[in-house]
Amino acid sequence: MAAAESYPGELKYHPEHDWARIEGNEATVGITWFAQDSLGELVHFEAPEPGATVSKDASYGEVESVKAVSDVIAPLSGEILEVNQAVVDAPETVNEDPYGAGWLLRIRLTDPAEVEVLLDLDAYKQLVADA
């Protein structure tokens, strides 16, 4: 079952339709409701390896539906602590729960100051409204 449209207020957003939940010097990241809705039901997550590094604004993997494939952009720079194996095994988890069970990576931030330039809820909602 696809989730209803939502954008939680406690998250930070990247204009490429990614979200980050900041927890100290770590973050959990994923794609927003808007991103998964644009792609349709996901059938594949081409995931990076734990231990690899991700750079803010750069692609770290791909998400793919029947009709399209898209790069996933890192909202922040860091070292990958964990890849969500549940999504690798059942990519549709992202459609069902994009901010919960459908998270993609946990990272240790290498430049926590980057958080400051991410969008807050209102700015991201405006961006989606203009899309």
Residues contributing to the site for other proteins (CB under 8 A):
2, 40-41, 43-44, 46, 62, 64-67, 69, 88
Residue 59 buriedness (CB in 10 A; 0-12 / 13-18 / 19+): middle
Instruction: Please list the helix, strand and coil fractions of the chain in percent, rounded to the nearest 5, in that order.
Output: 25, 35, 40
State the minimum distance, in angstroms, from the CB of residue 53 to other proteins. Answer: 19
Which of residues 69 and 123 has its CB atom nearest to other proteins in the complex? 69
Name which of 16 and 41 has its Cβ closer to other proteins. 41
Quote the least distance from Cβ 2 to other proteins, whole Å: 8
| Cα–Cα distance, 23 to 49 (Å, whole number) | 21
Q: How far is the CB of 113 from other proteins (least distance, A)?
A: 33
Q: Is 22 or 43 the residue whose CB approaches other proteins more closely? A: 43
Nearest-approach distance from CB 44 to other proteins, in angstroms: 5
Whole-angstrom distance, CA of residue 115 vs CA of residue 2: 29
The residue written with tokens 């100051």 in the block is 113
